[in-house]
Structure 1
Amino acid sequence: MENKGVVLLQRYELGRLLGQGTFAKVYHGRSLKTGDSVAIKVTDKEKVLKVGMVDQIKREISVMGLVRHPNIVQLYEVMASKTKIYFVMEYAKGGELFNKVAKGKLKEDVARKYFQQLISAVELCHSKGVYHRDLKPENILLDENGNLKVSDFGLSALAESKRQDGLLHTACGTPAYVAPEVINRKGYDGSKADIWSCGVILYVMLAGFLPFHDSNLMEMYKKIGKGEFKCPNWFPTEVRRLLSKILDPNPNTRISIAKIKENYWFKKGLVSTTERESKDLALMDVNSAFSPSGNSSAAEPKQELAKPNILNAFDIISLSAGFDLSGLFDENAHKKEARFTSKQPASVIISKLEEVARLLRFKVKKKSGGLLKLEGSKEGGNDVLSIDIEIFEVTPSFHLVEVKKCSGDTLDYQKILRQDLQPALDDIVLAWQGDLRQQE
């Protein structure tokens, strides 16, 4: 199967080997339908089961489905055979950023562009409640146009992984790039830890070597803990100041992404990026992927859509019923969208939404991937209010629902959301993002 020219599940032709690790190999592939190049990560199912990495595979699939951005490697679909699991992903022709910086420091303008793209990608992840936790040049790819692509979400965490203190507690990452609070094992803010890693990457790109380095690992940890580093004399003054704020060993005073984006040096030549539109991904039921018989139905998404519950399902790590998931949501979410969690089955959620829509005299259009579109009209005018409601499966008994205004007046939308939708959905809602009733 893993020879050149072999056709995978009648959809992709496997090409040359691009790289390999302990549990997976990555091949260049070609879509037989479009002729486009893709990267296909082939994971050995038996090895994954043997070492207990099922949750990590689930998490990686979940996260890559949630975070869609021009500077994040896109996951197209996941398929499986009896012995293998296949991730079909965007192909980054330029290879790893590591290979570029290994040859020496980058020009200031190039490093700044990469850093701008990195911050944009990480900001999107954090807005979705996703923390990468292993940002380093080896996990950053470049496309044929020299644009950065964040990859490898195998160690990422979702916000529901936080304990009741609101912090993450699993120490992970690569020593030279990891934040001091992660090393201390006292709990850490995933967003602050990612920002630290971004600072180390910026330093490496401009210097050609690491800010914290010692042959003795404990000595290196001490330097990281104290934030002891020196900038080469060719670093511009603005960069030195910025790095001192990013590589601040105190996470409480460390600069935020919002403040980084306001920095004068950062803003030079900035090209804005936008989140990729969500599309129906052929993501299979991961549990069935690990069954002895395998499941290649993800290669035939139309069969998936025939199921009664049509969901854009991401099978996220199993959750304890006692977890407080309010941290899953961005407290500063844009006013055009809101999210809530529910322990009801998807069919019940959909039925309730349809019932509420009828009461509000909204038209309901069902789409694939657990998406409902509610459309109404503003009396006496042509301003049509349109609301998208998307359902994500976290576990079979736990769902995340995102409510988002697509068109129409924002004030009308907010009024309907607070005065009509929220009260009407009370019996199926576990928790809303924040408390909308306090925002009136």
Structure 2
Amino acid sequence: MVRGQKRKFPDDDDRSSRPAKKIKLFHHVHNDEEQASSSVETSKVSSSKNLEGCSDEKEKMCTRNGKRKATDDGNVPPVHKKKRLDQEETKGGTKNSVGEQRCEFQAKYVEQEELRGGQCGKVFAGYRKEDKFPVTIKHIPKRNVPFKVKDENGKRISVEVAVMLKFAAQTPGSGGTSAVVSLLDWFDLRKELILVMERPVPAVDLKQYIKENGGILAEETAKVILKQLIEAAKELEDKNIFHRDINIENILIETGSDVPRVRLMNFGISCFFKKRSFYSVFCGTLCYSPPEWFMGQCYRPGPTTVWQLGAVLYETLHPGLFFDTGLALNDLLEISEELSENCQDFLKMCLDLDPKRRPILKDLLLHRWFR
């Protein structure tokens, strides 16, 4: 990759032995560095610290036209930047050695069966020993922590931790009232980060929920879910948090009552943003990426979130069809005429190819489909 310069080719003898490659070049866009703030609220770090996200079933990327970048938290960091983690600070104060932290984790929680795993880490079911409260335990190798920010004490912590701390339940272990799954505890060890989160029971992700309901949701059920999702996204926006990867696998549906309750999870590639923030490096599930990134390698938090909400709604209401931005760009994304006129209008507004014509989140809640 180069910036505003032509590539230099080797001598003709060397060039003849190499296959020709067509490389598309583009410039870094202003404010892309805000993908990972160096402060929980406002500070910045260099845009060179973008990392890849990942998923088990859908391809996720932090990429510039497919190119991936490493950061100072990569597999082989420079020697002068490598720090010992004998002393770790957490939200509850200072913990001692890594060994003591691990002992504390084992003393407080029981880890059970694996729920899912992948290159980014593994997720296990479990419970808290003192009251048998069900928890989800997430193990993330340090090399796979995408972004870090500075907390109020100046310590660098995972942005996933920073984001979830804002939505932690008022009383730890109560399950909380936020649409965001609550973070109960976290342990920053030498080689891995362990997050302990509440585990709503019974609950399944939206992908499984759709499958269990015959591969399609009734429009009224989809409406209930979408309204909660928009409210959750608005809550994030009000706190200057950009989730970046809203899709049917990152939405949890509590099924213990007549009305499904939405919980949003997986904030590993989220970031804090400012009013004028925009990005050229895409992070998230590629088939949910906004069309403006494909067309101009530039996207903003608000319009991107609205696009992804529209993509989620599309998949809940069209059996057997998976959303793909590429289909929309080629005018091949068909909206079912069996849906109500208001629902079709809502989908078309969210999936407008022009980000400037998409409604903002608070206006979505005023759409006549919700009346």
| TM value normalised by structure 1 | 0.52
Instruction: Pick closer, same or farther for the CA change 1:235–1:144 going to 2, 3 Å.
Output: closer
Output the amino acid matched with 1:90: E
Partner of 1:13: 110
2:261 is the counterpart of 1:147: yes
Partner of 1:225: 329
Whether the 8 Å contact between 1:181 and 1:187 is mirrored in structure 2 is yes
2:189 is the counterpart of 1:98: no
After TM superposition, list the pairs within 5 Å mapping 1:19-418 onto structure 2: 19-45=116-142, 48=143, 53=146, 55=148, 58-67=158-167, 70-93=178-201, 94-102=203-211, 103-145=214-256, 146-160=260-274, 166-210=277-321, 212-213=323-324, 221=326, 223-225=327-329, 228-267=332-371
Which structure has the larger Rg over C-alpha atoms?
Answer: 1
How far 1:52 sits from its partner (Å)? 7.0
| Greater mean alpha carbon deviation, residues 75-84 or residues 240-249 | 75-84
Task: Tell me the distance in 2 between the aligned counterparts of 1:201 and 1:192.
Answer: 14
Aligned alpha-carbon RMSD (Å): 2.5
Higher relative contact order (CA 8 A, sep 6+): 2
Whether the 8 Å contact between 1:170 and 1:185 is mirrored in structure 2 is no
3-state SS of paired residue (2:135): strand
How far 1:238 sits from its partner (Å)? 0.8
Partner of 1:365: none
How far 1:134 sits from its partner (Å)? 0.9
Partner of 1:343: none
Task: Tell me the distance in 2 between the aligned counterparts of 1:242 and 1:144.
Answer: 26
How far 1:157 sits from its partner (Å)? 2.2
How far 1:87 sits from its partner (Å)? 0.4
Whether the 8 Å contact between 1:71 and 1:150 is mirrored in structure 2 is yes
Whether the 8 Å contact between 1:176 and 1:210 is mirrored in structure 2 is no
3-state SS of paired residue (2:280): coil
3-state SS of paired residue (1:15): strand
Instruction: Give the share of equivalent positions with the same residue, in percent.
Output: 25
Whether the 8 Å contact between 1:67 and 1:128 is mirrored in structure 2 is no
Instruction: Pick closer, same or farther for the CA change 1:249–1:17 going to 2, 3 Å.
Output: same
3-state SS of paired residue (2:302): helix
3-state SS of paired residue (1:230): coil
How many positions carry a matched residue from both structures?
248
Output the amino acid matched with 2:265: S
Whether the 8 Å contact between 1:226 and 1:249 is mirrored in structure 2 is no
Task: Tell me the distance in 2 between the aligned counterparts of 1:265 and 1:13.
Answer: 45
Structure 2 unmatched runs, 5+: 1-102, 150-156, 169-176
Task: Tell me the distance in 2 between the aligned counterparts of 1:26 and 1:253.
Answer: 39
3-state SS of paired residue (1:106): coil
Whether the 8 Å contact between 1:167 and 1:187 is mirrored in structure 2 is yes
Task: Tell me the distance in 2 between the aligned counterparts of 1:131 and 1:190.
Answer: 6
3-state SS of paired residue (2:122): strand
Output the amino acid matched with 2:117: Q
Task: Tell me the distance in 2 between the aligned counterparts of 1:239 and 1:187.
Answer: 29
Partner of 2:62: none
How far 1:172 sits from its partner (Å)? 2.2
Instruction: Pick closer, same or farther for the CA change 1:54–1:248 going to 2, 3 Å.
Output: closer
Output the amino acid matched with 2:281: T
3-state SS of paired residue (2:137): strand
How far 1:7 sits from its partner (Å)? 8.6
Task: Tell me the distance in 1 between the aligned counterparts of 2:283 and 2:351.
Answer: 18
Whether the 8 Å contact between 1:171 and 1:185 is mirrored in structure 2 is no
Task: Tell me the distance in 1 between the aligned counterparts of 2:286 and 2:192.
Answer: 31
3-state SS of paired residue (1:184): helix
Structure 1 residues 173-209: Cα deviation after superposition (integer angstroms, max 9, x where no partner)? 2232221112234422211101110011111111124
Structure 1 unmatched runs, 5+: 1-5, 214-219, 268-440
How far 1:117 sits from its partner (Å)? 1.0
Whether the 8 Å contact between 1:211 and 1:230 is mirrored in structure 2 is no
3-state SS of paired residue (1:60): helix
